[in-house]
Structure 1
């Protein structure tokens, strides 16, 4: 019988995913607990407006009013902490998908089974994507359910749209890590390069209104596809979804090609 790489990988990730899920629910609970002390206070928005423009661009969504539920979550969770958490998981999982097997010297055992290399890569990719989407679902559910306890009322459909874009952001960089891992077998490199590119993409998108060079590059940034159209207010932007999906497909294809061309050490 052919081994089911996807199910085995998901089983291996189950404890880690459970810990990540609990952690994200607790992070949302922390922000929800702070909300009653901020609710309806225009002074918070005035404070943000007084920040230097560059700093405001880095950490505050344009036009967000922190005294409202939507603006508060945009600034406190969705602009920085949420993406960081999802990216850490996705990049780490993508980098370890192939490189981790080689570090543990289990890849030769896996490939000795009647399973093609392309299938190993694609099922590892599906496991990474499934885990990333699960974390987005947990975060979205926590926002809606925990928010209701403290009158942090957010529209469920807009939260779902935002979590879709957040998950796709994570999968883009997770698939890049997987492609590097498949092509090189080096987990450190496969984590470091996507992490550096994620920081660069964040800076390009955040400072695009202030820097002409970044303005011309902004639409190439995955962070632009994630947040620039403001999904928590406007819902899903299907053009951004298509760009993200196309990017993921290209990177997954590159991962398959890179892995098939390599000699795998025992």
Structure 2
């Protein structure tokens, strides 16, 4: 009946993914539409430079310059709105992967089929990865296509690098949500804990240059792996990709182990 949990999950999420993709394309279109007025106002960049460092670092990299396409996208999209969108989708998908089935009382039906618990977790994880990377790809393509219409020109390889890091950021927290969902079956907890940790990780990475305690732990923040190497300017940081991949693998292994040892509510 359910030959592939992965295909079933993707099918169930089809309309949601389309809605997310259209929404992200419209968000990028909004930023593209604003770009012509921003690039003609150099005072905006000067305004950011005059802000207290503790405040400006929360939404801009040190090299961001709003008068350039790269700096504008760094500040307006990749430092805040882009990560929020991807994290909301990935965490919600990961939290609902197991806990959502139990909330809908469909887990017994799923496990009644010839699929092991490990496969259920892995297929649910792969569905979350596919959705997250799809949304990142839509965002990247929208930047290239819509940006060219308003002279918001960005190198395609750098955009691809930034989207890779963005997708991995989402998958890290989505895998954490999946691990909690598999171990507890509680969707609220599985959404709330990753959300809180994502906010803390963001603050640690942003304020690390000014706070000694944060500086010592900055490199364990997923946001450091995402943005600290400035992929939109410098391309893919493969060491950060490796760290993210290892983190994800550990979390998925914990999800499989947690689901296998737990009594499941139908």
Give 1:187 deviation, angstroms: 0.1
Q: CA RMSD in A?
A: 0.8
- Does 2:192 align with 1:168? no
**Residues of 2 paired with 1:200 and 1:10: CA distance?**
31
**Residues of 1 paired with 2:166 and 2:199: CA distance?**
15
Structure-to-structure mapping, 1:227-242, within 5 angstroms: 227-242=227-242
Structure-to-structure mapping, 1:106-121, within 5 angstroms: 106-121=106-121
Give 1:106 deviation, angstroms: 0.3
- Does 2:60 align with 1:60? yes
| Deviation by residue 1:94-144 (Cα, 9 ceiling, x = unmatched) | 000000000000001110111100000000000000000000000000000
Which stretch of structure 1 is more off in the superposition, 52-61 or 129-138? Answer: 52-61
**Residues of 2 paired with 1:2 and 1:68: CA distance?**
50
| Deviation by residue 1:48-105 (Cα, 9 ceiling, x = unmatched) | 0011111111011112110000000000000000000000000000000000000000
Give 1:40 deviation, angstroms: 4.4
- Does the 8 A contact of 2:181 with 2:187 survive in 1? yes
Give 1:38 deviation, angstroms: 1.2
- Does the 8 A contact of 1:58 with 1:203 survive in 2? yes
**Residues of 2 paired with 1:211 and 1:159: CA distance?**
31
Which residue is 2:15 aligned to? 15
Give 1:42 deviation, angstroms: 2.2
Q: Number of aligned residue pairs: give it.
A: 266
| Deviation by residue 1:13-35 (Cα, 9 ceiling, x = unmatched) | 00000000000000000000000
Which residue is 1:251 aligned to? 251
* TM-score, length basis structure 1: 0.99
Which residue is 2:261 aligned to? 261
Q: Which stretches of structure 1, 4 residues or more, deviate above 2 A after TM superposition?
A: none
Which residue is 2:30 aligned to? 30
- Does 2:123 align with 1:141? no
Which residue is 1:183 aligned to? 183
- Does the 8 A contact of 1:40 with 1:68 survive in 2? no
Structure 2's unaligned 5+ residue stretches are: none
Which residue is 1:128 aligned to? 128
Q: Secondary structure at the match of 2:57?
A: helix
- Does the 8 A contact of 1:172 with 1:248 survive in 2? yes
**Residues of 2 paired with 1:38 and 1:193: CA distance?**
37
* TM-score, length basis structure 2: 0.99
Which residue is 1:44 aligned to? 44
Give 1:39 deviation, angstroms: 1.4
Which residue is 1:204 aligned to? 204
**Residues of 2 paired with 1:244 and 1:2: CA distance?**
31
